[in-house]
Amino acid sequence: MNYKEKYNEWLNYLKDDSALKQQLLAIKDDEAEIEDRFYQHLTFGTAGLRGKIGAGTNRMNVYTVARATQGIANYIIEHGKEAMDKGVAIAYDSRHYSKEFSILTARILAANGIKVYVFPDLRPTPELAFVIRKLGCTSGINITASHNPKDYNGYKAYWSDGCQVASDVAKGMLDKINEVDFFEGAKGMPYEEAIASGMITVLGEEMDRAYLDCIEGLAIHSGDELDLDIPLVYTPLNGAGSIPFRTMLKDRGFKNWHIVKEQEMPDPDFTTVGYPNPESPAAFKMAEELGKQTGAELLMATDPDSDRFAIEIRDDEGNYIPLNGNQTGYLLVNYILEGHHDAGTLPKNGAMVKSIVTSNMSTIMAESYGVKMIESLTGFKNICGRIPYLEENNLVYLFGYEESVGYGACKDIRDKDGISAGMLVAEAAAYYRKQGKTLWQVLESLFEKYGYFAEDEPNLILEGVEGSNRFKRMMTAVRNNPPMEIAGYKVTQLIDYINGYEDIEASNVLKFVLDNNSWFAIRPSGTEPKIKFYFYTCQNSREEALAVNKKIKEAILEIVNAID
């Protein structure tokens, strides 16, 4: 069927009093909107589903969620009764319909004879990843759209290793999903009946405690080594991080922390922030205001599902400076390496993991301590997916991160974790303050020691069918006719990951290495309507590095924007 036929099929099936039908009737004269809602099924990839909430095959709604869940149930059933009995853990965040979609998911799995574990309320994504391994579940599902705007929601699928599903599992699930009819394919069990029968178990506070114990066990310094009076500000951006982050700060003994009250409680509209992405400095507006009132040295934020974490630190003039994911990564990599080295607990066979589009300054830092840096594709399913490889090669996992403000310090939490990252950054700030230093001064000293690195990560956002097609044309044009010189600098190496590279599996990424100690990469996002660019360089000064990056960025964007 074409998109118009699918539109009419939905109109004919939905009842007249259905809110989804009213949405479709309202767009009956908007051909472009109809096409965007029905030109494809919402893509189920290695990050599950993610899209705008609404009626249509290319939207998040009860039918797309039910269809995906029934397909996953059929996939688990094929793995046998043991897999069904081990069950599925489900979590959700603060978004519109997150709770409703999570209950629907639980009802369908229970109706298929699959054991289900649910939380009594919203929980961070990393807690779900932890619980999957803790309970020995076959799978996990999280209803969240991470840091996307309020009109989005999503459906993250996990497997028994606690990671988001790898490509082979995702393909197996997708094959089963494609066999399910949109309207009549899924079966559900009444929620209360499923609880009463034992098919659904509501998890208690002991699981929250186990998750926090895992995080707090990462502490490198404590007690008198820390200045626990350091003034801190935290905002959960109206998401799931509020309770666990506050509990962690109390457990660790921090005495002078403040939370942004307007962003403390769940709010699916993210009224005070709009775009709830801590990677964006705009998300820190209210945290900065509170920071100025309280004299905070460190501002911290997590996104709605609390897997992403970002900070602003105060410079020597008292200004709040937003750090990008690479810069926060430098501080964390240094603190972990330095801390364990000084304590005599740094393993001789230590290893860290970073994505292929993350700065190589951390590689230099790790190697200076005798620690191996392993690379992976973007996404924590790939970063944490390296842990079995490390274990097989007698390497000890110390830390993993990527430039998009994702950090993982615990091998038992196999996803990025804003709560543990927050604990380590707060601990680092308190540790250095005890020594009379700020995080800003520590960061400056790292540049002096390892080189003046600069990074820039602009995105080009294009929604809808035309946007998707233009992204494809851009990647095809650059791949087929790659520039050999950029802004006067020669390309010395072109790495195309489309068929894999060395031990990195295939991905639609292009990476260019230049002859002036710079490199850049181009990658379409797998979860958002954007194409992402990554520019890195190391020069004799920070100012020179920024200028070089700017020059290369402008040249590349001019080339790409000229592609229709």
Q: Calculate mean pLDDT across residues 496-512.
A: 95
For residue range 175-195, what is the model confidence (pLDDT) as tens digits? 999 999 999 999 999 999 999
Of 295, 289, 332, the residue nearest 310 (C-alpha): 332
Query: Residue 308 and residue 280: Cα distance in Å, rounded?
Result: 12
Which residue is catalytic, options 98, 102, 146, 404? 146
φ/ψ region of 238 (left if φ > 0, alpha if ψ in -120 to 50, else beta) reads left
For residue range 372-389, what is the model confidence (pLDDT) as tens digits? 999 999 999 999 999 999
Residue 139 has pLDDT above 80, yes or no: yes
CA distance readout (Å), 377 to 122, 130, 399, 500: 29, 22, 16, 10
What percent of the chain has a predicted confidence (pLDDT) above 70?
100
Concerning whether 146 is annotated as a catalytic residue, the answer is yes
Query: Would you state the structure tokens that stand for residue 297, as one six-digit string?
Result: 């040295």
- Token match 């995702």: residue? 170
For residue range 305-333, what is the model confidence (pLDDT) as tens digits? 999 999 999 999 999 999 999 999 999 99
Phi, psi of 46 (to 5 degrees): -75, -10
For residue range 280-292, what is the model confidence (pLDDT) as tens digits? 999 999 999 999 9
533, 553 in Cβ contact below 8 A?
A: yes
Of 542, 532, 530, 535, the residue nearest 514 (C-alpha): 535
Query: Residue 223 and residue 87: Cα distance in Å, rounded?
Result: 41
Quote the mean pLDDT of the chain.
96
Query: Residue 187 and residue 534: Cα distance in Å, rounded?
Result: 45
343-380 burial, b at 16+ Cβ within 10 Å, e below that, comes to: eeebeeebbbbbbbbbbbbbbebbeebebbbbbbbbbb
Least confident of 6-10, 44-48, 287-291, 445-449: 44-48
- Token match 């105060």: residue? 314
- Token match 């920070």: residue? 542
The per-residue pLDDT for 18 is 95
The per-residue pLDDT for 281 is 94
Banded model confidence at residue 461, pLDDT cuts 50, 70, 90? confident
Q: Calculate mean pLDDT across residues 400-405.
A: 97
The per-residue pLDDT for 49 is 92
Of 85, 99, 75, the residue nearest 180 (C-alpha): 75
- Token match 């970073």: residue? 354
Beta strands in 14-101 (DSSP E): 49-52, 88-92
248, 314 in Cβ contact below 8 A?
A: no
157, 164 in Cβ contact below 8 A?
A: yes
The model's pTM is 0.95
Residue 14 has pLDDT above 90, yes or no: yes
Q: What DSSP state is assigned to residue 185?
A: S
Residue 1 has pLDDT above 90, yes or no: no
Question: Can you state the angle between helices 167-177 and 62-78, rounded to 10 degrees?
Answer: 110
> Burial level of 432, CB count in 10 A (0-12/13-18/19+)?
buried
For residue range 65-98, what is the model confidence (pLDDT) as tens digits? 999 999 999 999 999 999 999 999 999 999 999 9
CA distance readout (Å), 322 to 325, 326, 436: 10, 12, 21
DSSP string, 506-543: P-S-EEEEETTSEEEEEEE-SSSSEEEEEEEEEESSHH
Of 239, 248, 262, the residue nearest 122 (C-alpha): 239
Phi, psi of 273 (to 5 degrees): -130, -25
Residue 46 has pLDDT above 70, yes or no: no
Of 72, 7, 14, the residue nearest 33 (C-alpha): 7
Query: Residue 478 and residue 510: Cα distance in Å, rounded?
Result: 9
3-state SS record for 304-373: CCCCEEEEEEECCCCCEEECCHHHHHHHHHHHHHHHHHHHCCCCCCEEEEEECCCCCHHHHHHHHCCCEE
Query: Residue 298 and residue 288: Cα distance in Å, rounded?
Result: 10
Beta strands in 96-181 (DSSP E): 116-118, 139-143, 152-159
Query: Would you state the structure tokens that stand for residue 313, as one six-digit string?
Result: 């630190």
Query: Residue 236 and residue 242: Cα distance in Å, rounded?
Result: 5
Higher local confidence (pLDDT), 317 or 463: 317
Q: Calculate mean pLDDT across residues 196-200.
A: 98
Query: Would you state the structure tokens that stand for residue 68, as one six-digit string?
Result: 């995906």
